[in-house]
């Protein structure tokens, strides 16, 4: 394996280092303060009022969690309501933040939508049920929410893994149930190639399941198993292939993490190995841009004080090589997806300590200069 490494601080002047440290502290303080006002969600009416109040504060110039760009990173307009273990997808040039945990680890059915052009948050159609650890993807102008976990308290179980598929068509509104996945799961990865949604890994039972959904025919097909079972992984589509990186081999944030990278070619229906991550990572978030795969944060063996790592890595499939990039401003895990719009990667929310109880409303934004095309 070959790995190039750059550090956001190494070689910088002391003034720049101090600026970056102060910027991160300022952003974290703002986000913790604004999260406190957004921890309860009781009714759609109250939620709408909260979002309107939030947008009014933004219009008035109130500090609600934003900061200038440094080393490619910036803090965008924070979410009205903090989230972790939620799904994120881009549709119609907007960022959809779906379900997950508010602070306190109670599942939510709330949908928050960010318009980067207007720099405003709004509420979308609530999910049919509170759900977390699901996957989400947009195909053909429709949004699909796949799998996840629901609260099992009524059945005496702590969690129930589901195979549900919910479709949202903005032209129609609401949610429609589609064909269920062959394998119920949560914490898996997803990627879209040629209008089909590929889903890999997750839990339970062993995290090997690999399946593809065709929205045009509302059908699922089982594919060759993911060679290395895992959950809470990063997964993207690159150059017509699927790249799966990192993840955990068991339940919980302290489960064994892996550095394994595996690549699936739909043309040959075969898996192959890629260069491993520079370090084992679980609870990671992935994104694809300019031919590169980016892997953000998660749990790692060199965790910072809150138990997480802020590392950012980029994979160049042409060279089969990983590069260390500037760290996240705020280390996090528990973010199921990202959105890429206008050359920027948006990472809204995530948990800022192990366990998923401390979701943030931070929206970290990265403008990568690295290209792999």
| pLDDT one-digit tens code per residue, 262-299 | 999 999 999 999 999 999 999 999 999 999 999 999 99
* Pairing verdict, β 335-336 and 86-91: parallel
Name the band, by pLDDT with cuts 50, 70 and 90, for residue 250: confident
First-to-last CA distance in the chain?
Answer: 20
Instruction: List, in sequence order, every residue forming a beta bridge with 132; answer none if it has no partner.
Output: 149
Could you read off the pLDDT of 177-190 as tens digits, one per residue?
Answer: 999 999 999 999 99
Contact 82, 353 (CB under 8 A): no
Domains within the chain, CATH numbers bracketed: 2-366 (2.120.10.80)
Task: State the average pLDDT for the chain.
Answer: 85
Rounded CA gap, 293 and 314, in Å? 5
Tell me: the pLDDT tens digits for 70-114? Answer: 889 999 999 998 999 999 999 999 999 999 998 777 889 999 999
Given phi > 0 = left and psi -120 to 50 = alpha, else beta, which region is 329? alpha
Q: What pTM does this model have?
A: 0.87
CA angle 232, 121, 107 (to 5 degrees): 40
């Amino acid at each position: 394996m070959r790995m190039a490494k750059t550090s956001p601080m190494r070689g910088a002047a002391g003034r720049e280092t101090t600026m970056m440290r102060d910027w991160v502290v300022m952003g974290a303080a703002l986000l913790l303060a604004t999260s406190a006002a957004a921890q309860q969600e009781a009714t759609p009416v109250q939620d709408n009022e909260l979002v309107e109040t939030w947008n009014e504060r933004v219009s008035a110039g109130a500090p609600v969690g934003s900061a200038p760009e440094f080393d490619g990173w910036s803090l965008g307009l924070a979410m009205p309501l903090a989230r972790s273990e939620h799904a994120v997808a881009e549709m119609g040039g907007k960022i959809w933040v779906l379900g997950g945990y508010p602070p306190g680890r109670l599942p939510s059915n709330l949908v928050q939508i960010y318009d980067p052009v207007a720099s405003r948050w709004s509420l979308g159609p609530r999910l049919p049920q509170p759900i977390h650890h699901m996957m989400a993807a947009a195909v053909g102008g429709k949004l699909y929410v796949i799998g996840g976990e629901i609260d099992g308290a009524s059945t005496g179980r702590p969690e129930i893994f589901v195979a549900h598929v919910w479709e949202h068509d903005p032209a129609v509104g609401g949610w429609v149930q589609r064909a269920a996945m062959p394998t119920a799961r949560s914490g898996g990865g997803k990627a879209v190639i040629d209008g089909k949604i590929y889903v890999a890994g997750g839990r339970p039972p062993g995290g090997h399941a690999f399946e593809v959904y065709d929205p045009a025919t509302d059908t699922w097909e089982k594919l060759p198993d993911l060679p290395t079972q895992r959950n809470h992984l990063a997964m993207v589509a690159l150059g017509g292939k699927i790249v799966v990186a990192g993840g955990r081999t068991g339940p919980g944030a302290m489960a064994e993490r892996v550095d394994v990278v595996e690549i699936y070619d739909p043309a040959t229906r075969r898996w192959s190995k890629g260069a491993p991550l520079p370090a084992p990572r679980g609870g990671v978030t992935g994104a694809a841009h300019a031919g590169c795969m980016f892997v953000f944060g998660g749990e790692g063996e060199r965790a910072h004080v809150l138990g997480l790592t802020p590392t950012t890595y980029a994979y160049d499939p042409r060279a089969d090589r990983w590069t260390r990039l500037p760290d996240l401003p705020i280390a996090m895990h528990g973010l199921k997806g990202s959105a890429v719009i206008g050359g920027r990667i948006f990472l809204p929310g995530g948990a800022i300590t192990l366990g998923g109880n401390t979701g943030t409303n931070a929206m970290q934004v990265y403008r990568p200069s690295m290209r792999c095309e």
